[in-house]
Structure 1
Amino acid sequence: MSHAATKYSPLYFLASLGMGGLSVTFFMYLFFWVPHPNQPVPVFEDVWPVLTGGTLLQQAMILTAWTGIAFFAFLNIKLLIFNLRKYAEFKRSEGFETFAQANAGSQILAMPLALAMSVNVGFILGMTFVPGLWSVVEYLFPAAMVAFLAIGYLALRQLGHFIASRLHSGGFSCEGNNSFAQMLPAFALSMIGVGLAAPAAMSTLPLVSGISLVLSSFFITAAVIITLVVMAMSIRPMMEHGVNVEAAPTIMVVIPLMTVIGIALMRQNYGLEANFASPTTNPETMMLLTRLLSVQVLFGLFGIAVLSRVGYLRRFITGQETSAGSYALICPGVALSVMLHFWLNKGLVAAGILAKFSAAYWTISALAVGFQVAMIVLVWMLATKHFRPLPQGAVAAA
């Protein structure tokens, strides 16, 4: 038995989420470094000729990407199954009702967040490893939208129950809301929104693309509204009582939100251009990504300052204390890695500011890979603390 199994929290869904995010970071290698002129994303037929006929460096890159995608997708699914089983046990426990009635009750939104990520990972696995997938992709888009809508229904139902319960009988502690922990529902809805936006960009059928635009806009708009409300609610108690130390990583949840929303908006813009003759220029895309990246940098600096001030890393990462919320630290690093790839390729290169594969290009790419590697190290450290089997005496004490 591990610490995660004996001291279960729904926040462990973030472990599955993080593994899915790392799988996506390896897909960025294929997305931006392998030509795919016949469709907006690389598929097996684009990658295989480079793997079998490219340079040694290209072959090493593809093998690294394939290994990373497969390995972290496996961990994503494994941890999702672990969480679904443990959550079912947790929901039947005596302490669940107390948990559900407290501020922490919104943590159950980590489940639809992780589920939505796993659907995205499944699509990446298909594009990467399944020959001929693109020939039937138009049949897969409606199925994917149904899956995301089912997850969206679950998320809205959970969030609606949480809010309705508080509005009916109260119990929400504004004083204890001294973090951005309540932003988890916004993150979940944005992840559903970006999944629903994929057919807008990739489908050649105006009806499918249009439905995707409408549905993804609903969930992205809901995520933005919740984000603004939570920020307004949380700043005062943080300033008045100080940040909740265990929830301090949530300060940086805005970073993955910006990446997910940014990708959703780019997908929507691409769909509007491809299917509805409403083009977006490359400089406009560059400015959109630059503004979102600027928000991420600001919240990253703010979050690092807070974590340093409260000694979070010394206590919960390298120290003896454990907190399931530590897995929230993976998302910002993964999100920055992905955003840097998009900002570089869809922003600076597309707008003509930098030449692709120039020295400056590889410098920024190295920064993106650096964030990726740092998060892999963090995953290893957290797995050692949370998922390594405990000694028999420790299990008995737990």
Structure 2
Amino acid sequence: MTQRPYHPLYFLSALGNGGLAVSFFMYFMFLIPHPDSPLPHFDHLRATFEKGGTAQILVIAVSLIILALAVNHFRLLIWNVRSFHTYKRTSAYQTLKSTPGEVAVMAEPLTYAMSVNVVFILGALFVPGLWANVQSLFPFALLAFLAIGVYALVLYVQYISNVMANGKFPVDNLNQFGQFLGAFAFVMVAVGLASPAAMSTTPWVYVTSTVASLLFLALVSGILLFFGGMSLRAVLAKGLAKPGAPTVWLLIPIFTLTGITFVRIYSMVSHRLLETHVNTALLFVVLGFLFMASTAVGLIGFRVLRRLDYFNEQPDGAASFGLICPGVAYVVLGMFFVHWGLVQNDFITAHSLMHYVILSPLVFVQAKTIQWLITLSVKHLSLRKNVSKLEAA
């Protein structure tokens, strides 16, 4: 069998596994009581496990799934880092750098930011006593996300400055939304920085985190405005390019991460500056709007992908992993909306039949996302049962 050439978008395979691990963490986040901390940790898991019965089975099952996805995330991350290092020495990389496709390199810092989130979740859930010292860890989280953000900014400034200086950007051929990958990377950094902003009690940490998070959100807005109109015009004129078809869903993870960033920064403002409680009515409106917008993008994108027969044929194996993150993001944003928008405003009762009925479509989307991750991995990564043998060329 012919070996497949490497492409930076293969980082999305690692990103998808990490994102799915985070999506399963949402079950612990919103279904396990943790009144003494903003996130569930080892002690909450142990208390739920000790109840026995169905709760014990679910804790074991979800924990094993999170661990398996995390292991696969880091396995694929290591392979991608090694392969990308080799790829940079090839003529294919030099060719890529002279095209709009250079934005694909943003998948690297995007995945690194996801890795920090996965490490944070694993530490909180499975390391006894770690959460008791979490305040001392937030400065390191801040520095980690700042480092990734600076690296992402250097890559993107290098790319966009070449585009603006050369003036040879093929605007009419931009009939896909791949340029939103830059916004996706920056919003992943923004949401990571917003975490210590929301949970740290050290003023310099939460102020620095908030300001830096707002900086990257501003970059996200600029990219969406700058490239959104150009891409939409090209798509309407020429149709969506099939190799980049999954980019039609890129707005879903961007909406999701923007919503979570808002929740975290708003929590910081409420608790630290205003010394009041979070206004759940405002969260209902903001998260509800973003979730409905994601639903609209998802439905339109699904119809377009079906028309292009993309689910049966993916002409670009690396780009095909762009199907995974939107499914992950939709589930995560849905969980936030159900909890903060519906449960916290007493529209539904937690753990009631209606609560689980409303969550069931999210579980379905999550299951389909896992199915597609397996399908794409088998088709584009594991055909020889060893991902490390993919050629970096």
- Specify the code of the residue in structure 2 equivalent to 1:381: T
Shift of 1:2: 8.6
For each residue in 1:19-63, what CA deviation from the matched residue of structure 2 results, as whole angstroms up to 9, or x when unmatched?
Answer: 0110001111111111111110001011111112x1411111111
Alignment correspondent of 1:329: 323
Give the Å deviation of 1:211.
Answer: 1.5
Question: TM-score with structure 1 length normalisation?
Answer: 0.94
| Paired residues of 2:243 and 2:316 also in contact (CA < 8 A) | no
> In structure 1, what is the Cα distance between the partners aligned to 2:310 and 2:373?
16
Cα shift at 1:207: 2.7
CA distance in 2: counterparts of 1:2 and 1:11, whole angstroms: 19
Q: Does 1:211 align with 2:208?
A: yes
Match of 1:139 in 2: 136
Corresponding residue pairs, total:
388
Q: Is the 8 A contact 2:255 2:290 kept in 1?
A: yes
Q: Is 1:340 aligned to 2:329, yes or no?
A: no
Using the alignment, how far apart are the partners of 2:221 and 2:236 within structure 1?
23
Structure 1 partner of 2:66: 69
2:254 corresponds to: 257
Shift of 1:395: 8.8
Residue number among 285, 293, 296 corresponding to 1:295 in the alignment: 293
Aligned partner letter, 1:347: G
TM alignment of 1:261-280, pairs within 5 A? 261-277=258-274, 279=276, 280=278
Match of 1:97 among 90, 94, 97: 94
What letter is aligned with 2:205? V
Q: Deviations over 1:103-154 (max 9, x none)?
A: 1011000000000000110100000101111221112111111111111111
- Name the amino acid aligned to 1:303: G
- Deviation sequence 1:269-294 (CA, Å, 0-9, x none): 11112211264411111111100011
Distance 2:227 2:60 in 1: 42
Partner secondary structure for residue 175 of structure 1: helix
Q: Which amino acid aligns with 1:326?
A: S
Q: Against the structure 1 CA distance between its residues 21 and 271, is the aligned structure 2 distance closer, same or farther, given a 3 Å change threshold?
A: same
The residue aligned with 2:243 is 246
Q: Aligned pair 1:198/2:195, yes or no? A: yes
1:236 paired residue among 226, 230, 233: 233
In the alignment, residue 331 of structure 1 is paired with which amino acid? Answer: C
| One-letter code aligned to 2:119 | G
In structure 2, the residue corresponding to 1:35 is in which secondary structure? coil
Give the whole-Å Cα distance in 1 for the aligned partners of 2:301 and 2:383.
Answer: 31
- Map Cα deviations across residues 298-335 of structure 1 (whole Å, 9 max, x no partner): 1111101211111111212xxxx552111000011111
1:381 and 2:379 aligned: no
Q: Which residue of 1 aligns with 2:24?
A: 26
The residue matched to 2:80 in structure 1 has which SS?
A: helix
Alignment pair present for 1:60 and 2:54:
no
Tell me the equivalent position of 1:167: 164
The residue number in structure 2 matching 1:286 is 284
| Rounded Cα–Cα distance in structure 2 between residues aligned with 1:389 and 1:295 | 37
Structure 2: gaps spanning 5 or more residues: none
What is the deviation of 1:389?
4.0
Is 1:182 the counterpart of 2:192? The answer is: no
Are residues 1:352 and 2:343 paired?
no
Shift of 1:205: 2.2
Equivalent residue number for residue 46 of structure 1: 44
CA distance in 2, matches of 1:2, 1:294: 43
Answer whether contact 2:288 2:337 (CA < 8 A) is retained.
Answer: yes
Aligned to 1:304: 302
- Secondary structure class of the residue paired with 1:188: helix
CA pair 179-373 structure 1, distance change in 2 beyond 3 A: same
Work out whether 1:126 is the aligned partner of 2:120.
no
For residues 233-257 of structure 1, what are the alpha-carbon distances to aligned partners after superposition, in whole Å with 9 as ceiling and x for unaligned? 1111111111111111101100011
- In 2, Cα distance between equivalents of 1:26 and 1:64: 10
Q: Return the TM-score normalized by structure 2.
A: 0.95
- Quick one: percent identity of the two aligned structures? 36
RMSD (Å), alpha carbons? 1.8
Moved >4 Å (runs of 4+): none
Task: Give distance in 2, aligned partners of 1:395 and 1:145.
Answer: 35
Task: From the superposition, tell whether residues 395 and 105 of structure 1 become closer, same or farther in structure 2 (CA, over 3 Å).
Answer: closer
Structure 2 CA distance for aligned equivalents of residues 118 and 125 of structure 1: 11
Equivalent residue for 2:147, pick from 150, 161, 168: 150
Structure 1: distance between partners of 2:167 and 2:105: 19
Gaps of 5+ in 1: none
Indicate the SS of the match to 1:314. Answer: coil
Q: Given the alignment, which residue of 75, 81, 85 partners 1:84?
A: 81
More displaced stretch, 232-241 vs 188-197: 232-241
* Equivalent-residue separation in structure 2 for 1:36 and 1:362 (angstroms): 19
Answer whether contact 2:381 2:390 (CA < 8 A) is retained. Answer: no
How many angstroms apart in 1 are the aligned matches of 2:97 and 2:345?
49
- 2: distance between equivalents of 1:18 and 1:93? 26
Aligned counterparts of 1:148 and 1:253: Cα–Cα separation in 2: 22
The one-letter amino acid paired with 1:285 is L
